[in-house]
Amino acid sequence: MARILIVDDEPGVREVLRRLVAAEGHVATVTGDTTAARAELGSGSFELILCDVNLPGESGLELVHEVVAGDTEVAVLMVSGADDPQLAETALGLGAYGYIVKPFRNSEVNIGIANALRRRRLEIENKAHHERLEQLVAERTAELGRSREETIHRLARAAELRDHETGQHIERVSRCSQLIAQRLGLPPDRCELLRIASPLHDIGKIAIPDSILHKPGPLTDDERRIVETHTELGHTILADSREPLIQLGAEIAWTHHERFDGGGYPRSLVGDEIPLAGRIVAVADVFDALVSDRVYRSALPVEEVVHTMRAEQGAHFDPEALEALLSAIPEAIAIRDRFRDEERHMRLIPAPRHSEGPPVGSPSLVLPNVRTSVSRSV
């Protein structure tokens, strides 16, 4: 049983159509013009409209166009006294399922109604099928994205834990990098890609010998040069991937220790020669090192961190990337507070046996009046 709206200005035709519809077990509602038809459509749901072309005041074609454009699930069957192929083509082009010419045979109307309702049902089922497929693809894509992100996160944690860092550090750098990118106006998908890829910035430390990476005392010049190769090693590990996420990770690993003034490593790039992602992560990495507790010192006051980093604006840091972070200090501190290191992790990390500075694995810390990193950092 279907609810069918009959729109025809001839009372006799309306009655004939009503009887035909009722005889097939359907429920009929009859109207004589488009105004009344719109009122009926607004107050109830119909599966099919039997609509005359020539109606008082307005063509039935206009009603058909309106119904179809509204993306409703109502099928439309046109009825007309004009046997006009061009008019029929126009009606079908607007979305009508059929065109019946008066005077019509009862069987012709019944077949038209049955075909229209069947087509409507198939289209609804097809639409539902496509929606289910789209939902399934979206779910699988999201699942793949989560798996990909988890794999990257665990790989990054492996490097950080070798370096006496914590998973929370890479999470904070990740979120801070995304925040800076957002403040710079990068597209949302690029900001998300940066959030996921940035934890790979120190992946190259996996290849640094423990005897150097965990050395408790000062590094020799040769040892420092070996530690600094972690940028090139990280790039080598991740290079030549077809995956944009891994490509970005390789770029970040290679460039996050470059300085805006050309004093960084490994290639002494200057300014815009440094990829934007590397410039962003450089700011996020140092910021987190300064505002977070370390086994060798407590977090520095935010005001001191802002002053310290601003003093290196245009020297160590890209001015725009740094300004983007400084304009979002409350959000950046909220990230730090949300992803704080647990005390048990901090206790498990052995403190240096000397007072010369942080462990080898720490990021390059910028201190007032010092252009290079402190003696133990890289």
201, two tokens:
């910035």
Q: What is the pLDDT of residue 306?
A: 95
**For 215, how many CA atoms within 13 A lie in the half-sphere containing its CB?**
18
Share of the chain above pLDDT 90, in %: 43
pLDDT over 70 (residue 292): yes
User: Does the bond joining 218 to the residue before it have cis omega, within 30 degrees of 0?
Assistant: no
Residues composing the chain? 378
Beta bridge partners of 289: none
375 found inside a domain:
no
Q: Average the pLDDT over 5-14 and give the result.
A: 90
In the structure, what pLDDT confidence band is assigned to residue 164 with cuts at 50, 70 and 90? low
Q: What is the pLDDT of residue 80?
A: 86
pLDDT over 90 (residue 254): yes
Is the same domain home to 215 and 70?
Answer: no
| 348 or 159: which leads in pLDDT | 159
258 found inside a domain:
yes
The string of pLDDT tens digits covering residues 29-67 is 999 888 888 888 888 789 999 999 888 888 888 888 888
In the structure, what pLDDT confidence band is assigned to residue 308 with cuts at 50, 70 and 90? very high
Residue span of the structural domain in which 290 resides: 163-348
Q: What is the pLDDT of residue 167?
A: 57
pLDDT over 60 (residue 338): yes
C-alpha R_g of the chain: 35
Is the same domain home to 86 and 176?
Answer: no
| 349 or 86: which leads in pLDDT | 86
Q: What is the pLDDT of residue 127?
A: 87
Confirm if 87 and 34 have CB atoms less than 8 A apart. Answer: no
Is the same domain home to 168 and 263?
Answer: yes
Q: What is the pLDDT of residue 163?
A: 59
In the structure, what pLDDT confidence band is assigned to residue 177 with cuts at 50, 70 and 90? very high
235, two tokens:
């790039």
pLDDT over 50 (residue 157): yes
Is the same domain home to 223 and 342?
Answer: yes
Residue 333 to residue 291: CA distance in whole angstroms: 8
The arrangement of strands across the sheet holding 75-80 comes to 27-31, 3-7, 48-52, 75-80, 98-101
Q: Average the pLDDT over 170-177 and give the result.
A: 93
The string of pLDDT tens digits covering residues 90-127 is 888 888 888 888 888 889 889 999 999 998 899 889 98
Please name the residues in contact with 251: beta carbons below 8 A apart, sequence gap of 6 or more: 235, 275, 277, 278
Is the same domain home to 125 and 168?
Answer: no
7, two tokens:
């729109």
DSSP annotation string for 299-342 = PPPHHHHHHHHHTTBTTTB-HHHHHHHHTTHHHHHHHHHHTPPP
The string of pLDDT tens digits covering residues 188-212 is 999 999 999 999 999 998 888 888 8
Is the same domain home to 109 and 181?
Answer: no
CA of 92: how far to CAs of 21, 30, 79, 222, 254, in Å?
22, 23, 12, 81, 61
Beta bridge partners of 77: 50, 98
CATH number of the domain bearing residue 331: 1.10.3210.10
Residue 55 to residue 229: CA distance in whole angstroms: 82
pTM: 0.61
In the structure, what pLDDT confidence band is assigned to residue 227 with cuts at 50, 70 and 90? very high
Residue 99 to residue 307: CA distance in whole angstroms: 78
Q: What is the pLDDT of residue 342?
A: 66
Average pLDDT, the chain: 84
Domain count, the chain: 2
pLDDT over 60 (residue 247): yes
363 found inside a domain:
no
CATH number of the domain bearing residue 112: 3.40.50.2300
Q: What is the pLDDT of residue 343?
A: 55
